[in-house]
Structure formats: structure tokens, C-alpha cells
Structure 1
Amino acid sequence: MARPLILVTNDDGIFAPGIKALISVAEELGDVYVVAPDKPQSGMGHAITVGNIVRLHPTDYYKKVKKAFMCSGTPVDCVKLAIAHVLPRKPDLILSGINHGANNSINVIYSGTMSAAVEGAMEGVPSLGFSHANYQYDLDFTGLGAYIKKLCENALKEDFPHKTCLNVNFPDVPASELKGIKICRQAEAHWSDSFEKRLDPSGKEYYWLTGVFEGKDKGTDTDIWALNNNYVSVVPTQFDLTAHHEISNLNTWNYEI
């Protein structure tokens, strides 16, 4: 039987350590194609490039993959272009990450890493986004491969959730301290934003976004709880944003003009 066709992308850039770790696992499981941004694209969410050009440049940086391309666009651009123009057929699996920094709770909305996985789900492809709670660029991902491989193997052989992707986050502890994988719900949390006003070298004002992540959800079934207790959190994530539970309430309103 033909080996699975696997697309790997990210939002930290094609040469980031996290994507290297993900590619090394993917190579064990199938034929790998890489289409990833040529520069960091963190916080892009589900942005696509409209009204501007997008370029693809081949690279031989990854020797064992079938093909690898640097893309000038967003992570979602990478997935769209890969499926439309790079891959010989629709992939069997899409992997995004490993992101430097957690994408738990509300962070999934802003994440370019997860938006690439969501785009894969929209295309009907089993897709997983991987993130690590440590932000250090030179983070050692050694020891995470077994968890990544097990999740990918399950995604390839099991009944993968329809119109859904998996949001996988690793806690900021050594791999030897991981307790296992826990299926979770997305914790209720938000960012308390602030903008720090600064001056550039010419004396003109600019603003730098800062903030504090506030997670007050005390549930023991959340991704925040899992990460705080040294579990790998896995949240099934859908792109249908309809608040289905509110439809009946809205139907009681008076809409006569």
C-alpha cells in the first residue's frame, strides 16, 4: 500500500526548531511535503493573502522530504497552496507546529499554527496542531516524538472526527515528567490587554501590545488544568462558530419591522 501523504507546516517559519522536530516524526510515518512560511507568522490567525502576491520558493534544507517550499504568505496560505498546487493529491494528514508557545484556551483564535490545522479540517483532512508552552527558540524537543507519533498514528488509522482538528499542547516540563495524554475542553480564559506607548529613534510614538493571560476556569477537564498538571492536552477543535445553543433563544425575539 502507498505510504500516507503528509503535509507539514507551521507559523514560526520553515527553519524553526519546532517544525524540524515535527518533520522528523512525520518522515517515519509517510511521504512528507513541507510548505511553511519564509518568516515568522505568529498571531496571524486564519488570515489569507488578498490583494497581494504570494510566492513559493523551493528549498533543499530538509533532505529526506519529497519537496519543501518557503511561502511568503500566511500559514493558511501555505495549506491552500500546498493542496491546490504542490501536492500530487489531497494529503492523508496535515501537521502544524511545533509552535514555540502554548495555544491553549482562547489562544487558539489568534494562532497561525492552529489556523493551518483548522484549514486542513475545512478541507476534510485529518489535521493536528502542536504547540509547546515554552517560548524559547532553542527549546529541546527531544522526548516528545513518542507522543507526536502516537497521535499521528491514531489520526491515520482511527475514525477521525468530522470537520474537526486536534489542538495539542505540551506543558513546560521535561519530557520525562509528562504524565500522558488527556482529552480536554478549551478552558474559559481571556487576555487582559494593554498597549505600551514608546518612542522610535525619530521620536515618533508607537504602541507595543502587552497583556496578562487570565484563566479563571477551575474545571479539571480543561486544557489549562492538563498543562498545569503535566499532561499533554488534546482539544478537538471545530471551525463551525455557530452558537447552536442560542438559536432557540433568538427565535423568541420580536423581529417585526
Structure 2
Amino acid sequence: MKPTILVVNDDGITAPGIKALMDVMKQIGNVVVVAPDSPQSGMGHAITIGKPLRLDKVDIYEGIEMYRCSGTPVDCVKLAVTKIFKGKKPDLCVSGINHGLNNSINVLYSGTMSAAVEGAIESIPSIGFSLDDYTLDADFSHCEKFIKQIALMVLQNGLPTATLLNVNFPNTAHIKGIKICRQANAKWAEEFDERLDPYKRNYYWLTGVFQNNDLGEDTDVWALENHYVSIVPVQFDLTAHHAIPVLNSWKFDV
């Protein structure tokens, strides 16, 4: 019996990346697509509160069950589980392929990865896929064999409890292989470009440069810079367990 695979993203239901991911998943199982009706990049783990959500069945690609959601990527997963699958969860949740990397600190901001995180919270084996190419005409063809291999490995072997995979692809057709990595200690050095609108009011565009402060050769940044696919196991338990003994040493007045 073929596995059931939920495909989601944050770039929107018409993004080329989700079509590429869907095409690979069709080779593996029965695909159901639930995706935002418009781009939702940078939404992180946001959910919609205080306004209604729309979930409409659409016929975009022949033979594929697809739904367009008015909410965030996380909303898409929640609605899929409760309203489409009606509690009978899919065998796999895959998110992407994102137009742009979600390595290092980007995982915290990413709608692509938050959709996969939500899948993991629902105890669904989940993977987020991203490519180092922000353009709408990005070529995903060199990612496909790796996506299929990784998805099949997860279906065959499962994942550790409360864990999902963050997979990033370098923008090259000459990929050397796959590296299991840790998240690099890197961040955006952000600036806000201040401008004036026609009414002389200030407004701001977020800009900045990506700064890698981590020289390790076991990180996702290193792997991508050296033409490897990076796989980082991610958890949604944000507890800093190593800090608990430190805090327990503090003397609080009771």
C-alpha cells in the first residue's frame, strides 16, 4: 500500500518549488497538497487568530488532490490534519521546496520549516526542503534524486521522537553528496533602509548581510559552501537543557 504524503510550503500554492516537490512525492505515494493562497515567507510558526480561515479545493495539476488555504503554513498543516485527513494522519509531511536557504538561524523565521515542525508536533515524520536560489525560475532538477532518497529513508526508518529534518541544497548541479550537520552559529546583521513615501512619512525596508561566526566543518553553512546537501536534525523542544544546572545554582529568595 502506498504511503500518504502531505505536501506544504510557504511560497504559495503556485510556486515552482512545491510543484517540483509534488512531482517527486508522486513517485513515492499518494499526494495531498495544502498550501497558502499567497506567499508566506518569514512567517515562522505563526497561526491565524481572530479571523476566519478559508480552505478551498482547487484543480491545478491533474490527478493531484490540492487545497488552497488563506492562512499561514502552520495553519495549512493544522487544517490538513483535522479537516482533510480527519485525524488519520499522513505517513509523511514534506515542506518546500523553498526558494532560498533555511540554514543556520533562518530555521527560526522560516514558514517552510515551521510547517514541517507542525507536522512533527502532530507526530508525523516531517522534512523541510530548501534550495539556495530565490528566483522564480529556479532549477530544482538536481535536488530531485536526493529528495526521493531522503524521503524514502524517513519512511523506511522513521525519525527519533520529536525530531524532524531540515534539508538544504546548494545552488549547483555538481553536488558532492550529503552531510549530516549541526546548525551553524551564524546570523543576519540586519539594517533598516529608511526612506520617505510621497507624503514625506518614514518607512523602512529590512536589509542586511549574513554573517557566519562558526568556522566548524560540521555545520550546514560549511556543507552548502562546499557543495554538499546539508541535513540538520531539528527538535521543537526549545529547552536549553545544559542551562538547567546553572540556573539551579542560583539562590532565589523565597
User: TM-score, normalising length from structure 1?
Assistant: 0.96
- Is residue 2:234 matched to residue 1:229? no
Q: Equivalent of 1:199, from 196, 199, 206? A: 196
- Is residue 2:215 matched to residue 1:218? yes
- Alpha-carbon distance between aligned partners in 1 of 2:220 and 2:139, rounded to the nearest angstrom: 22
- Is residue 2:138 matched to residue 1:144? no
CA contact under 8 A between 2:193 and 2:204: conserved in structure 1? Answer: yes
User: TM-score, normalising length from structure 2?
Assistant: 0.97
What is the identity, as a one-letter code, of the residue corresponding to 1:245?
A: H
Q: Equivalent of 1:73, from 51, 63, 71? A: 71
- Alpha-carbon distance between aligned partners in 1 of 2:150 and 2:37, rounded to the nearest angstrom: 27
- Alpha-carbon distance between aligned partners in 2 of 1:54 and 1:200, rounded to the nearest angstrom: 33
Q: Map Cα deviations across residues 113-160 of structure 1 (whole Å, 9 max, x no partner).
A: 000000111111100000001111111111321100000000101131
- Is residue 2:166 matched to residue 1:167? yes
User: What is the Cα deviation at residue 3 of structure 1?
Assistant: 1.2
User: What is the Cα deviation at residue 202 of structure 1?
Assistant: 3.2
CA contact under 8 A between 2:192 and 2:204: conserved in structure 1? Answer: yes
What is the identity, as a one-letter code, of the residue corresponding to 1:188?
A: N
Match of 1:243 in 2: 240
- Is residue 2:112 matched to residue 1:113? yes
- Is residue 2:90 matched to residue 1:91? yes
- Alpha-carbon distance between aligned partners in 1 of 2:27 and 2:72, rounded to the nearest angstrom: 27
- Alpha-carbon distance between aligned partners in 2 of 1:202 and 1:62, rounded to the nearest angstrom: 45
Match of 2:103 in 1: 104
* 1:227 partner SS: helix
CA contact under 8 A between 2:125 and 2:158: conserved in structure 1? Answer: no
* 2:97 partner SS: strand
Q: Percent identity?
A: 59
- Alpha-carbon distance between aligned partners in 1 of 2:199 and 2:33, rounded to the nearest angstrom: 41
- Alpha-carbon distance between aligned partners in 2 of 1:224 and 1:160, rounded to the nearest angstrom: 23
Unaligned ranges ≥5, structure 2: none
Unaligned ranges ≥5, structure 1: none
- Alpha-carbon distance between aligned partners in 2 of 1:8 and 1:203, rounded to the nearest angstrom: 44
What is the identity, as a one-letter code, of the residue corresponding to 2:149?
A: K
CA contact under 8 A between 2:127 and 2:164: conserved in structure 1? Answer: yes
What is the identity, as a one-letter code, of the residue corresponding to 2:128?
A: G
What is the identity, as a one-letter code, of the residue corresponding to 2:246?
A: N
- Alpha-carbon distance between aligned partners in 2 of 1:20 and 1:221, rounded to the nearest angstrom: 31
CA contact under 8 A between 2:37 and 2:68: conserved in structure 1? Answer: yes
Aligned length: 253
* 2:115 partner SS: helix
CA RMSD of aligned residues (A): 0.9
Aligned positions of 1:170-189 closer than 5 A: 170-174=169-173, 177-189=174-186
CA contact under 8 A between 1:33 and 1:87: conserved in structure 2? Answer: no
User: What is the Cα deviation at residue 205 of structure 1?
Assistant: 1.6
What is the identity, as a one-letter code, of the residue corresponding to 1:14?
A: I
Q: Which runs of 4+ in 1 moved over 2 A?
A: 200-204
